[in-house]
Chains A and B, each alone.
Chain A
């Protein structure tokens, strides 16, 4: 008998075992939902799959009576746009500031403590300030994401830059590189896959800030919808929206991982051997 730590499931077993918890949850939900509906057929807490399907049909497959839009897709587009814009702006500014901070001691000295302090400000606490300053439009929602995740990204990128072995920076200098050339040829390319990795880690927080901002002030968006229909206890809408958001988050994460593996094979070979 092998030791437990040496027993590794094969391909088929991994998939089966991986799906098992999902199937169990579904079954559990079905059982509980059926039990509640049997007692009271107007129960709204755990709607049956058919009423969920009905809600999905109304939101995603039939145009809204008033606006003629498909609200589910409208919400999705609005949220994804805000999210990608917020994360994109954050990633770009974090890349620039983080790399400069990591590479140039005279920039790190004033900026690094400041960024650390900023990262400790709870973003939700300044959401009202954002609404006051940027109004209730798109900008304040995007800004909340930016303010929420940029300090973390900057600190992470700066740390990664500092982790580049000094031998490499010295070697580049002996090959004639200037500060600028070291940044563009040695530091920046090695930071890109690390940026993707930290963006993946910050996506959870980005969704949190997005939904919070949408819940408070918006006219469309996945978060807006969930908080709107909460008033009518519409679990048949809330549940598929939550599953959809989860799926989107998963797909984004998967996409970033694929891009990273495709563009930076040397990085993944390194981290997996280490």
Chain B
């Protein structure tokens, strides 16, 4: 059965149509990468999946049931920014989810239980390359390091559905490649379903099993808000597509490449 079904989904803010008429089915274990012009509604789409925005029209089904309109444990998120807790150290940020799970009243663990929780957290922190910064606060980290912390924080929870909003934008190439390997291995190991927005189309082709291009189908120059974005391309990614990706650098070029194919 399909994990997520998107049925004739619309999202409007007042008179501005952001997304129109989306129809898609996503199965467990797919890795959907999303590209599209800035401001075309990619983040809005993730918010719909997350449950912090609700559809204006249409339906969003999870396991055949309407999606709960509230963020919950089964869906993890890494936002573009403000994603870590400024009052907690790196370690505390990552340990938090196990503390919340085992200590409903205080939301804190002590002694042996805490040590136990720290062990797996430290492993995850080392995996994102922040092992040297366990006791640092987010304000002492660079933007890229904060983003990796946010990633560790979400990954350790192993949510069924992981939503990533341009998570690697601020990383330099070496670290970015490490993060790619980390996400891919966790994705394979735990059969996660991932939606990832990226502005780097190569990255989209490299990581995803499926690449969506968000774009406005129609544009009325007199009323630029009258029409929303749709998923104009839904490309299954295989080896050959990844080869194509080698040659492609910008969204316009992908349109040309896909159109020619």
Contact = CB atoms under 8 A, between A and B. Distances in A.
Interface in B125-159: 137-140, 150, 153-154, 157, 159
A177 B105 CA distance: 11
A168 B84 CA distance: 7
A257 interface: no
A181 to B, nearest CB: 4
B200 to A, nearest CB: 22
A184 interface: yes
Interface string A242-274: 000000000000000000000011110110010
Contacts of B232: none
A181 B102 CA distance: 11
A265 B101 CA distance: 28
B77 interface: yes
Given A266-B138, A269-B139, A175 B87 contact: no
B120 interface: no
A171 interface: yes
Interface in A170-193: 170-178, 180-181, 184-186, 189-190
Contact of B85 (A168, A173, A176, A178): A168
A100 B87 CA distance: 19
Contacts of A174: 50, 71-73, 75-77, 154, 157, 159
Contact of A266 (B50, B52, B105, B139): B139
Given A175-B157, A181-B104, A185-B100, A266 B72 contact: no
B64 interface: no
Nearest to A170: B71
Interface string A183-211: 01110011000000000000000000000
Contacts of B154: 174-175
Q: Pick from B50, B87, B96 the residue with the most CB of A within 10 Å.
A: B87
Nearest to B92: A185
Interface of B, helix, strand, loop or mixed by DSSP: loop
Given A266-B138, A269-B137, A270-B86, A176 B100 contact: yes
Contact of B87 (A170, A172, A181, A264): A264
A173 B69 CA distance: 12
A171 B79 contact: yes
A102 B149 CA distance: 27
Interface string B85-118: 1110000000011011100111110000000000
Interface residues of B, number: 36
A167 interface: yes
Given A186-B85, A189-B87, A180 B75 contact: no
A273 B104 contact: no
A106 B164 CA distance: 31
A16 B8 CA distance: 72
B137 A265 contact: yes
B83 interface: yes
A216 B235 CA distance: 81
Given A165-B82, A185-B100, A170 B77 contact: yes
B124 to A, nearest CB: 13
A180 B71 CA distance: 15
A171 B72 CA distance: 9
20 contacts: A165-B82, A167-B81, A167-B83, A168-B85, A170-B50, A170-B79, A171-B83, A171-B84, A174-B77, A174-B159, A175-B73, A177-B107, A180-B104, A180-B107, A185-B100, A185-B107, A190-B87, A266-B87, A266-B137, A269-B137
3 nearest CB pairs, A to B = A173-B71, A167-B82, A175-B97
